[in-house]
């Protein structure tokens, strides 16, 4: 069991197995001091490594654990956080429930081009930083992970991201951060040149 108030440090790409559900301690409180992470679960009802939520600094997040799942936190950037078992979450405060509506919304558009743009907008809305050239996201998700989030194939995501780069709406800077042009985030995006799958 994790000790309350102990700070855990994770490097980018490292995963933490979160404490499992118990009858007296069915929930967790995550206090992220720095960095951004992805919460995912594995169980027979879920696809392996199914993304459920993201968490970042300056917020406290609560997770209501189900007894049949194994829960993980993947560091998308270097992280420091505190994890504590709690008997309940505050009313209406469940990180996974909060993210499920947002993730459903980004899967809703018919075209893959719109889904890719919507997931980028969602992540930048939560974790992006406004800079002179647009918006910086300090982590880059793999094409496979974006595909899993929006319900398309990896090759479809690769194709759509290539089109956005060709249009000058998306780039990766020398530090490995994703850069999105203001036009991609602030106004209605232009249609891509190909048909969506």
pLDDT-based confidence at residue 188 (cuts at 50, 70, 90): low
Q: Both 112 and 85 in a single domain?
A: no
Per-residue confidence (pLDDT) for residue 150, from 0 to 100: 94
What is the DSSP secondary structure assignment for residue 20, as one 8-state letter? Answer: P
Contact 194, 112 (CB under 8 A): no
The DSSP element (H or E) to which 21 belongs, if any, is none
* Two structure tokens written together for 179: 């850069």
- Helices 154-166 + 143-150 axis angle, to 10: 110
Write the pLDDT tens digit of every residue in 15-60. Answer: 999 887 777 778 888 999 999 999 998 765 555 678 889 999 977 7
CA distances from 188 to 109, 121, 183 (A): 14, 11, 8
Q: Within a domain: residue 146?
A: yes
End position of a domain, from candidates 93, 123, 158 = 93
Place of tokens 């530090």: 175
Classify each residue of 67-94 as buried b or exposed e, where b means 16 or more C-beta atoms within 10 Å of its C-beta: eebebbbbbbbebebbbbbeeebeeebb
Per-residue confidence (pLDDT) for residue 12, from 0 to 100: 94
DSSP 43-107: STTS-TTEEEEEE-TTEEEEEE--TT-EEEEEESS-EEEEEEEES-PPTT--HHHHHHHHHHHHH
Residue bearing the bigger pLDDT, 6 or 1 = 6
Whole-structure pTM value: 0.83
Per-residue confidence (pLDDT) for residue 1, from 0 to 100: 41
Phi, psi of 135 (to 5 degrees): -130, 135
Q: Within a domain: residue 56?
A: yes
Domain that holds residue 120: 108-186
| CA atoms of 11 and 45, how far apart (whole Å) | 29
For 1-7, what is the mean pLDDT?
57
> Is the pLDDT confidence value at 195 over 70?
no
Q: Both 88 and 117 in a single domain?
A: no
pLDDT-based confidence at residue 162 (cuts at 50, 70, 90): very high
Q: What CATH number does residue 152 fall under? A: 1.10.10.10
- Helices 143-150 + 95-107 axis angle, to 10: 90
Structural domain count, the chain: 2
Q: Within a domain: residue 86?
A: yes
Contact 75, 37 (CB under 8 A): yes
Q: Both 87 and 112 in a single domain?
A: no
Write the pLDDT tens digit of every residue in 86-140. Answer: 887 787 788 888 899 999 999 988 889 999 999 999 999 999 999 998 999 999 8
The region that residue 8 occupies, defined by phi over 0 for left and psi between -120 and 50 for alpha, beta otherwise, is: beta
């Amino acid at each position: 069991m994790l000790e309350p108030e102990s700070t855990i440090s994770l490097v980018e790409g490292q995963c933490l197995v979160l404490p499992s559900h118990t009858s007296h301690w069915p929930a967790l409180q995550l206090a992220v001091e720095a960095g951004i992470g992805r919460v995912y679960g594995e169980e027979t009802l879920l696809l392996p490594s199914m993304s459920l939520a993201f968490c970042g600094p300056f917020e406290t997040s609560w997770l209501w654990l189900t007894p049949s799942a194994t829960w993980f936190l993947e560091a998308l950037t270097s992280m420091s956080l505190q994890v504590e078992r709690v008997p309940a979450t505050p009313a209406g405060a469940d990180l996974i429930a909060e993210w499920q509506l947002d993730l459903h919304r980004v899967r809703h558009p018919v075209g893959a081009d719109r889904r890719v743009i919507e997931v980028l907008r969602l992540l930048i809305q939560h974790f992006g930083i406004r800079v002179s050239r647009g918006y910086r996201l300090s982590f880059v998700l793999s094409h496979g992970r974006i595909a899993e989030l929006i319900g398309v194939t990896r090759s479809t995501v690769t194709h759509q991201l290539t089109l956005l780069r060709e249009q000058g709406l998306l780039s990766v800077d020398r530090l490995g951060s994703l850069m999105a042009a203001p036009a991609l985030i602030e106004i209605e995006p232009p249609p891509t040149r190909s048909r969506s799958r």
